[in-house]
Structure 1
Amino acid sequence: MDTIDRKIISMLQDDAETPISVIAETVSLSVTPCWRRIQKLKEAGVIRKQVALCDATKLNVGVTVFISIRTSQHSQAWLDKFAQHVKDIPEVVEFYRMSGDVDYLIRAVVPDIAAYDRVYKRLIKISDIYDVSSSFAMEQLKYSTALPVDYAP
């Protein structure tokens, strides 16, 4: 991956609808070679998907909840079952297995506390969970879907 690819990726992360002609001009390429580079980045899996980013407040899911889960179960079978059920909860937008004191961290978006309570009840029905702790975001100070490109090989 060279400097031109990094510039292309940065532009597409900023706005995936940027016309190829604009990208090509910015990175000093003609349209066809620029288009080919984008296709190669897609084929290589560098560009996984192009999506629409929606406003959570306008979709009435403006409350962000970080849910920390601890369990005494650490078998693959337990993880497989737990992960599948968590992935089926539409309010869950991020889900991580962690190191340290917390086993799993979930980011969910909901309209209010009552909706979060329904998510919580779904979580505790899934499997044996030792502890569930939730924190509500008071204010979003930074949010980005753009990944840094300077580390790309």
Structure 2
Amino acid sequence: MLDPRDRKILECLQRDAAISIGDLADQVALSVSACWRRIRNLEETGLITGRVALVDRKKANVGMTVFVAVRTSRHSIGWTEEFRATIAAIPEIVEAYRLTGEMDYILRLVVPSVEVYDEVYRELITRLDFMDVSAFIGMEELKYTTAVPLKYL
């Protein structure tokens, strides 16, 4: 069970994982060693799964977001494993989900242009059979966060 200090540590780290342990300890009113122990515990229990640097997509020249909805007529384990391997090998695909409803999967791609999206599309349809592939280009990012809500802990 997490206490309010653990939640505060998580909130701070979700905002800035590069914060110094001293500054973090000050913000959560703990000693440096107690704060460090709590972080290690959160990592060991798997609540913290890693720490990353977030790259500005526009500065990395992949400012366009494309959502791709995929429908397939094949639902075998073999096809699904091949699909997983295919999307894992394409770095422009940054998220993928299996869905309920009319579409089977949704992919989120980041690319510099429609032409590059078309290259990814051609790679997908060359490697796998789909019943339908529909693309939606994000026009404006209204909200983006990597932070998860902590109120359910």
Taking structure 1 as the reference length, the TM-score comes to: 0.97
Identity of aligned residues (%): 49
Deviation (angstroms), 1:40: 0.7
Partner of 2:95: 94
Structure 1 stretches of 4+ with a deviation exceeding 6 A read none
Residues matched between the structures, number: 152
Runs of 5+ unmatched residues, structure 2: none
Farther off after superposition, 20-29 or 67-76? 20-29
Q: Distance in 1 between matches of 2:8 and 2:127?
A: 44
Partner of 2:55: 54
Q: Distance in 2 between matches of 1:123 and 1:22?
A: 46
Is it true that 1:119 corresponds to 2:114 in the alignment? no
Q: Distance in 2 between matches of 1:3 and 1:76?
A: 43
For residues 94-151 of structure 1, give each alpha carbon's deviation from its aligned partner in whole angstroms, at most 9, with x where no partner exists: 0111111110000001000110000000111122200000000000011100111111
| 1:4-153 mapped onto 2 (5 Å cutoff) | 4-152=5-153
Q: Once superposed, what is the RMSD of the aligned Cα atoms?
A: 0.7
For residues 22-59 of structure 1, give each alpha carbon's deviation from its aligned partner in whole angstroms, at most 9, with x where no partner exists: 11111111110100000011111111111110111111
Runs of 5+ unmatched residues, structure 1: none
Q: Distance in 1 between matches of 2:127 and 2:16?
A: 38
Q: Secondary structure at the match of 2:109?
A: strand
Q: Secondary structure at the match of 2:43?
A: helix
